[in-house]
Chain A
Amino acid sequence: MATPSPSVPLLQMQRISKQFPGVRALDDVSFDLERGEVHVLLGENGAGKSTLMKILSGACGRDAGEILIDGRAVALQSPRDAQALGISTIYQEFNLVPHLSAAANIFLGREPLHGAGVINRRTLLAGAGALLRGLGTRIDPAARVGDLSVAEQQMVEVAKALSIDARILIMDEPTSALTESEIDELFAAIARLTARGVAVIYISHRMEELARVGRRATVMRDGRTVATRALPCPIPELVRLMANRDIAHHFPPPTRTRGVPILQIERLSRPPKLHDVSFTLHRGEILGVAGLLGAGRTELARAIFGADQPDGGCVRLEGRPLRLRAPSDAIRAGIGLVPEDRKRHGFVPGQSVAANLALPQLRRLCRGGVIDRARERSLARRWIDELRIKTAGPSARVLTLSGGNQQKVVLGKWLAAGADVLIVDEPTRGIDVAAKMEIYQLLDRLAGRGAGILMISSELPEVLGMSDRILVMHQGRLQAVLDAREATQERVLHAALGLAS
């Protein structure tokens, strides 16, 4: 095989256009990728990144434009074509079989055989183990994928993509579920790949990490490429290109003041994930919860909300101890939960925006068990306006909304229910920059009205930028409580890693 001239880019996508009913998803987009490069693709949700990557991975056809690899035009019409060309994609939504082992998932369709179709289990496990160890994880290759955490499943996805001899790797938000140390390991793995000449297209909303991983960044907006910049590039400039408007600060200046204690957690335990956690949340306070994945933060949230039964300890609301046998008990007391996994736990996708907003307080919207449709609709209208939810109307199904707007619906459920204590678990995961800002402003406004907010987040800048105080958890225990004014990334990380201060 003749080695192509090094001056020709590995991949060129030229003048790609794609029309969906009613929407021009891509308009004359060009994009190129060098060998051994990590090229970041930036843009708000709906900017066209996903469509462009779907075309490259053969999942979606194009109306116009050419794709060249090594300077030669290629026919790329199906995922099979893409695979044959060495293009591999790690989607944000996992493509794993939960009942099979990590190893079986990694080599699905390419199982090492003894002959006559019998799987060589030893080679399978050894190969998978080597790949997983290469990522710096200690996942047992024989473990069932369904029993792994979100971060571990993500690592299996990465290992699966690495196991295919890919020349072009598309990664869609690969770090959204990973902790800082796992991100470091992922970046190290990416560096090893690029050293071998593999090129990576990297989609992310986490601006802080871009310069650490990427060489160039291309910004997309409204179905066009706006600009390509060499990295590092100042974040405000990239954000301005994406949003076409200046976002002066990453986080809104707080408008709230701390009031009286509202929620007291005393020695809450649910072994093995939660041990002896005590703290107090005040009215008008945003209390950040930091920690590595598996530190027990989501378990803490679920125990306070009554979704899981704690084995010991007490939750007091304004001094009164609560009996929390089910979420309905917490909701009656005025506690709301915006769960980590929005799609699986947050909303009913096939139902309307109005029905989802009404779900926690349907009892109040009923007369004799019959839903008062007019009241339901006016409640929905009010919160659609208040939260600026972009939807065709109250009767549009939630699955038709963008991620940011879906999250606003989940938040809206609890605002409409008048929650005094709001637990938000990874409130801005997978959401574009503009929607993030709106969510931040919303949380601040809510606290300003006297609610207490417990905000779990894996994004350190978010925790530091939004919180008044920061709880840091480590292995199910409360490791440190930091005042936001004196907290730094280093101090939070230090505590999250379980190191003494």
Chain B
Amino acid sequence: MRGALASGRRLGTLAGLFGLCVLLWALTPHFLTVANLLNVLEQTAINAVIAAGMTFVIVSGGIDLSVGSLVAVAGVVLAAALHRSMPIAVALAASLGVGVGFGLLNGVAITWGRLPPFIATLGMMSIARGCALLFTEGRPVSGFDPAFRSVATAKLAAIPAPVFVTVGVYLLAHFVLSATRFGRYVYSMGGNEEATRLSGVNVRLHKTLVYGVSGLASAVAAVLLTARLNSAQPIAGIMYELDAIAATVIGGTSLMGGEGGLGGTIIGALIMGVLRNGLNLLGVSSFVQQIVIGLVIVVAVLIDTMLKSRKT
């Protein structure tokens, strides 16, 4: 329903991912092994989950810079709850609740407070980080029950659990964005907010919910990260917002809002993951890696812009 243009663009991104894989396969024998590919998927999981929430925000015409800090605050709440011997389900609920709550606060500041999303979430980036540091007095909270850690460590048919979590998140998020009324409103608000309001849609409410979704995605990522590291760090998640925005934008979601989708974002996240992994295998220094990843982001959007301007 999003039209031939959107699916054509997604095919292009997919071709980019495929080309990148072929290139790495040619360059290093270590890339195309089952163990390594599973490793890539596992390492992509956290960014992919955050980027799923970011896709909602960007399609709605906004931006969320606070996701990295929300990962930290949701992580330390989770850890504290587990350390107080709360049932895992309660600890998870507390963590997800904190993520959603901070996200909704972003939304309220943007809709009722009429702040630009960039400013509201920039403020929240600092506020949430401060909360995480204050709550833990700046120290990591480590060591959890193996039952909880199985979220990250369990495997089914050699496939790590975070991969299943990511797939589940994407299936659910894709369903919500493409099939539900809420998802339709996300596209409409991003495409023309005033026309949407004049069609009787409660724009404030739905926009606020969009940031709640992003907070929820950050909290899910926090659960995966805490379980994998066996530790929750108040300084976790720094710069995660940029990776999530990059994955979304590489995936073809327009920063202007109204266009894009999760199919593109997952490919975008995989491109980032494969690129990092491949550069590591090739022994490229982390300094050079930053340059390469930056170039990929710019070139991906450049190609997208060029394709779009040729079509109109």
CB-CB contacts below 8 Å: B169-220 with A: 179-182, 184-185, 187-188, 191-192, 194-202
Compute how far the CA of A344 lies from the CA of B192 in the bound complex, rounded to whole angstroms. Answer: 7
A248 on interface, CB distance cutoff 8 Å: no
Compute how far the CA of A366 lies from the CA of B201 in the bound complex, rounded to whole angstroms. Answer: 14
B3, A331: Cβ atoms closer than 8 Å: no
**Closest CB of chain A to B204's CB: distance in Å?**
9
B198, A345: Cβ atoms closer than 8 Å: yes
Chain B residues positioned under 8 Å from A396 (CB to CB): 3
A349, B3: Cβ atoms closer than 8 Å: no
* Residue interface mask A27-62, B partner, CB < 8 A = 1: 000000000000000000000000000000000000
Chain A residues positioned under 8 Å from B182 (CB to CB): 369
Chain B residues positioned under 8 Å from A360 (CB to CB): 199-200
Known: A348-B192, A349-B192. A369 touches B180 (CB 8 A): yes
Chain A residues positioned under 8 Å from B243 (CB to CB): none
**Closest CB of chain B to A54's CB: distance in Å?**
14
Q: Which of A348, A352, A369 has the most CB of B within 10 A?
A: A348
Compute how far the CA of A354 lies from the CA of B184 in the bound complex, rounded to whole angstroms. Answer: 12
Known: A352-B1, A395-B1. A359 touches B202 (CB 8 A): no
B194, A345: Cβ atoms closer than 8 Å: yes
B273 on interface, CB distance cutoff 8 Å: no
* Residue interface mask A331-362, B partner, CB < 8 A = 1: 11000010100001111111110110011101
B3, A395: Cβ atoms closer than 8 Å: yes
B258 on interface, CB distance cutoff 8 Å: yes
Compute how far the CA of A339 lies from the CA of B197 in the bound complex, rounded to whole angstroms. Answer: 12
Chain A interface extent, by class = 35 or more
**Nearest-CB residue, chain A, relative to B176:** A369
Known: A369-B181, A371-B184. A346 touches B195 (CB 8 A): yes
Q: Which of B192, B194, B259 has the most CB of A within 10 A?
A: B192
A413 on interface, CB distance cutoff 8 Å: yes
A362 is contacted by which of B3, B181, B192, B258 (Cβ under 8 Å)? B181
B201, A359: Cβ atoms closer than 8 Å: yes
B191 is contacted by which of A328, A349, A370, A373 (Cβ under 8 Å)? A349
CB-CB contacts below 8 Å: A355-381 with B: 355, 358-360, 362-363, 366, 369-371, 373
Known: A350-B258, A352-B3. A337 touches B198 (CB 8 A): yes
Chain A residues positioned under 8 Å from B201 (CB to CB): 328, 359, 362
B199, A413: Cβ atoms closer than 8 Å: yes
Chain A residues with CB under 8 Å of chain B are 305, 307, 326-328, 330-332, 337, 339, 344-352, 354-355, 358-360, 362-363, 366, 369-371, 373, 395-397, 413
Listed by A's residue number, 7 A-B pairs whose Cβ atoms lie within 8 Å are A344-B195, A347-B192, A347-B195, A352-B3, A355-B184, A358-B184, A359-B188
Enumerate the 8 nearest inter-chain pairs by beta-carbon distance, A residue then B residue, closest first. Answer: A331-B200, A348-B191, A328-B200, A359-B199, A348-B192, A360-B199, A350-B191, A350-B258
